[in-house]
Amino acid sequence: MRVVIAEDDALLREGLVLLMATKGVEVVAAVDNATDFLAVIGHDRPDVVVMDVRLPPSFGDEGLRAAVEARRLHPGLPVLVLSAYVEHSYAAELLADGSGGVGYLLKERVGRVERFLDALRRVAGGGTAMDPEVISQLLVRRNADSLVDTLTAREREVLALMAEGLSNTTIGDRLGVGDAAVHKHIRNIFTKLRLPHDDSSGHRRVLAVLAYLNG
Residues 72-125 pLDDT 10s: 899 889 999 998 877 766 677 777 666 678 888 988 878 788 889 999 998 999
Give all domains of the chain, ordered by start, each with its CATH number.
2-139 (3.40.50.2300), 147-214 (1.10.10.10)
Q: Rounded to whole angstroms, how far apart are CA atoms 128 and 204? A: 12
What is the average pLDDT score of the chain?
A: 84
Q: pLDDT tens-digit profile of 150-180?
A: 889 999 888 888 877 788 898 999 999 998 9
Question: Does residue 213 or residue 189 have the better pLDDT?
Answer: 189
Question: Above 60 in pLDDT, residue 29?
Answer: yes
Residue 135 has pLDDT above 50, yes or no: yes
What distance in Å separates the CA atoms of residue 63 and residue 49, rounded to the nearest whole number? Answer: 11
> How many CB atoms are located within 10 Å of the residue 4 CB?
24
Residue 111 has a pLDDT of 77
Q: How far apart are CA 79 and CA 47, in angstroms?
A: 9
What string of DSSP letters covers 14-49? HHHHHHHHHTT-EEEEEESSHHHHHHHHHHS--SEE
Count of other CB atoms within 10 angstroms of residue 183: 12
